[in-house]
A = this chain, B = another copy of it.
Amino acid sequence: MNTHTALSIPHLFLLIALIPVGARVFGALFERIKQPPVLGEILFGILIGPSLLNLVDPHTSELHLFSEIGVALLLFVIGLETDLYAFLRSARMSFVVGTIGLVLPFLFGYGGILASHRILQFPAGEDHLIKLIAIFTGATLTATSVGITARILKELHSLQTREARIILGAAVIDDLLGIIVLTIVSSLALSFARGVPVEEALSVSSLLTTFLLALGFPAVSILIGLFGLKLMNRFAPGLKLETVALPFAISLAMAALATLSGSAGIIGSFAAGLVLGLLPPRKEILHGAETIGKIFTPFFFVLVGATLDLNALFTSGNGLVVGGILLLLAILGKLLSGVVVRGGILPKIRVGIGMVPRGEVGLICAQKGVEAGLLSPELFGAVMIVVMGSTLITPPLLQWVFASRETARG
């Protein structure tokens, strides 16, 4: 996505003043009608975004930066509140859930497009092209947007539940596998747009490297972090750390290093939170990060809203029908990923719903498809409907299933 910058300091100041307060007001209104505040924040974003009032361009570089810092801080706070060892204990289950939650939506999206082509003659084209479009569409349905789920779990004070740990872990896996999906899809787009054979644009060894780097970064950084803590405990046991600027810097630096080494940014800050959460001044660090997060994090959710394009709802009839079907398939695919979770029906449903939100990664995939001339505007509209629907439907559903009495801790 391009970034624009042409705003003066006073103009930026007004936007930076408006967004956290507007988000807060809409959040409070939604709380009053027993809905998750985050839904209010996203709707506030739709309101001030290009679809309606057009006060905010979500691609303004400064606002985009605030939003990226916001989601990094959110994941850092979630990491601080997550018990690293309990998290690692449910890693295997997370891996299974995350993988199913990636494969099923992909297959459903792929099949959905093939079926739609046969039944509705939409999208139209040769078999080879349709297959490519189907791969692309499937890919856009894969990545879970962990921000929304994490925020709601935090608001419901449910981060200590087993389901929350499984969801977070699965979303991490999803984000890592999503990088691979994005690599594959970008290569396919490149190969299609330039007429290069797929084998040239995409090598198995480079995919393997991508995967190892993506997975390696959080693993290695958590190990180094734990080792560093041990060293600190031995050689400087009484060392007093600054609890605001330093943790903030560590979470941003880890996000940057994660991105630069081929992993996902928010996973870097999540890992930083997991490790720093083992330090004695965890409470002070958490308090500082939450205070600063009150400024930055609303930018993430408001810009998520501002990115949603209501015009997608006024796309052609075919786009709307396919969008609706893809949305159902996207929800079903993620819901089914929860089936493997042990316990009654509730934990399965909780985990499944927690995986439903799709976000930026899906839109980036779709955008690449449009740029390569593979996806039509109608299909982009359909993907927008999936992102919009899954983003807006999850908060109330998640609040509903997590507010149920039966809370599994352990």
Copies in the complex: 2
Contacts of A13 in B (CB 8 A): 68-69, 72, 252-253, 255-256, 259, 265
Cα A69 to Cα B66 with chains together (Å): 13
| Chain B residue with Cβ nearest A261 | B10
Residues of B within 8 A of A250 (CB): 17
The 25 listed contacts between A and B (C-beta, < 8 Å) are: A3-B5, A5-B5, A9-B64, A9-B265, A10-B256, A10-B260, A13-B69, A13-B72, A13-B252, A13-B253, A14-B253, A16-B69, A16-B249, A17-B253, A18-B249, A20-B249, A21-B245, A24-B242, A244-B291, A244-B295, A245-B294, A245-B295, A248-B295, A288-B294, A291-B292
Q: Is A51 an interface residue (CB 8 A)?
A: no
Query: Across the interface, do A248 and B20 meet the contact criterion of CB distance under 8 Å?
Result: yes
A10-55 contacts to B (CB < 8 Å):
10-14, 16-18, 20-21, 24
Proximity bits, A268-306, B CB within 8 Å = 1, else 0: 000000000000000000001001101100100000000
Tell me the complex Cα distance, A16–B266, Å.
Answer: 16
Task: Determine if A83 is an interface residue (Cβ-Cβ < 8 Å).
Answer: no
Q: What B residues does A11 contact at CB under 8 A? A: 256
Tell me which residues across on chain B come within 8 A of A61, comparing CB atoms.
Answer: 5, 61-62
Q: Please tell me if the beta carbons of B62 and A17 are within 8 angstroms of each other in the complex.
A: no
CB distance from A120 to the nearest CB of B (A): 40
Q: How far is the CA of A121 from the CA of B11 in the complex (A)?
A: 46
